[in-house]
Structure 1
């Protein structure tokens, strides 16, 4: 006796002449695992592709350690931290500046100028004997001047100057190197008040190119004073000392 509401599924199967196959146990779980594994593989491929893009971008931006990072002064600075001054001269492939713009001065009499650099008088106060020490130093205040520094300067007297002062607009990390610098130098890293936060003796490096060692500061600095090696002792500039450097203005005649 049949139901009055219509034929049953069994009756339909019999009328079609075929039976619906039963779904194997666990088939749904297998499908989920299959598609899940495919999604994981796709995600892994995306991660690998992104890593490759980052590596290529880093190489194009100068990554790879051809030169020390965050280096200044008598060396080539890293391009990401020390961009070329648009008003300055282009850098050559070996790290030097092709030709620094002429500096108008003023210049005091009695010293031999180094082209492309100005000069400034500085005083070291609260030094070893308590009396101010007056110095006339070369001034490196633009990116290209800081990049050039004392590269290729061979005169141990620096033309009558007492050293070179590097100034920055903001506190800096890193330090200096001696690529293509024939004179042994000492550097005092100074904070914004002119007090020494660290000092380093630096040796000439004429043949190692980008493999020249760097001499980083142990603390952040705003200025740096380079002098012929050993010249910091008489100034009393070292970490923890009371001595500090003040910029005074135009140099006096030698």
Structure 2
């Protein structure tokens, strides 16, 4: 069987799939991923064919895990370019988020890779005076590499609102995790990172040892020690 025949087997058209919501591309990508895995835990990265998600292609992306909590974009649709105002390929996913949200995204990525599981994230862009805020949603779906490890993600990112002043960065408003069998999964990602600042752990208080004066030492029968300092008087 030649490569063209193999690729045609991976094309599962979702052009007629129109869910009743404002984030149709998310459902198209997720339905394609579900159909492609065909009862397996997840599909492989090599099985993804852009023709299968043609109607959602501008919103889709592929992530590669490069370090714990870090996944970079290897493929990215034009909508992500518009959101950031620059080429997103090579960027970490955390670049789309404000500083306070990045620790949550890093933890979320590890949950998707390690559990593994799928997730949907609801977001809102950072408030800026005179600039309309954006509402956005994103799905992350795990993939296996050619080596069989879970180190890729098929994702989809859709924002609603006028893209006027890029780059746009987002805060997280909600996260939902699902096991690969579809059952909900509690998110272990903390709502807010603990702020430590410049504080240091306080040292435990220890009382100084009590010293007896020479008279008390003699009374107690202990040997009298010479004083540390001696006054020498000279004319």
TM-score normalised to structure 2 length: 0.26
- Over alpha carbons, which structure has the higher Rg? 1
Query: 1 or 2, which has the higher helix percentage?
Result: 2
TM-score normalised to structure 1 length: 0.24
